[in-house]
Amino acid sequence: MSEALDEMYLLGEEKMEKAISQMKREFASVRTGRANPGILDKVIVEYYGAPTPIRQMAQVSVSEGTTLVITPFDKSIMKELEKAIIKAELGVTPNNDGVCVRLNFPPLTEERRKETAKEVKKYGEEAKVAVRNARRDMVDHLKKIEKDENMPEDAVKDNQDKIQKLTDKYVGIIDAQVAEKEKEVLTV
């Protein structure tokens, strides 16, 4: 196999891995009825003029499975912290006791669970689109290599099959993770 083919497979697989990583980051922000510190990943606080993620400026812990306790390292930013959480529209109201901010996550309603499951499917579809785009790029690259290196037809066919198997593998991983997350969301 030529270096160009090796590079094509490496690049393609890397893009597919990135699609799955992105999907996992999106899953972390999905509310499941249990407190999950990952939901705060998208919340940014203005800290001395610089946008700062909450997890860099506070200790975040889970209490009793349904409450997130956010204890800032600098108590003077409690108001900004509270404002950022409200602005992020997480669906929970922050309770500030002067020492920490508590976020109580009520159990999700059946309707909200179904909406959340749809959101999970959407993230899975976006990941599949990214994987298919990586496959398309690989096939285009293969055609270019075929012309440049005057590749035999059966070698091209073998490589196309290999690309499809790689795509199927990643789509399978995405489907399994979407199903797992959906189950987590729909479980009361």
* CB distance 133 to 167 below 8 Å: no
In a structure prediction context, what are the per-residue pLDDT tens digits for the chain, which is 188 residues long?
Answer: 578 888 999 999 999 999 999 998 888 777 676 777 877 878 888 888 888 888 888 888 888 878 889 898 888 888 888 888 888 877 788 888 888 889 888 777 888 888 889 999 999 999 999 999 999 999 999 999 888 888 888 888 999 999 999 999 999 999 999 999 998 888 76
The tokens describing 69, both together, are 């306790």
Structural domains of the chain ordered from first start: 3-28+109-186 (1.10.132.20), 37-104 (3.30.1360.40)
How far, in Å, CA of 70 to CA of 74, rounded? 12
How far, in Å, CA of 86 to CA of 101, rounded? 12
* CB distance 160 to 139 below 8 Å: yes
Q: What pLDDT score does 18 carry? A: 95
How far, in Å, CA of 125 to CA of 75, rounded? 42
Q: What pLDDT score does 98 carry? A: 83
Instruction: For residue 128, count other CB atoms closer than 10 A to its CB.
Output: 18
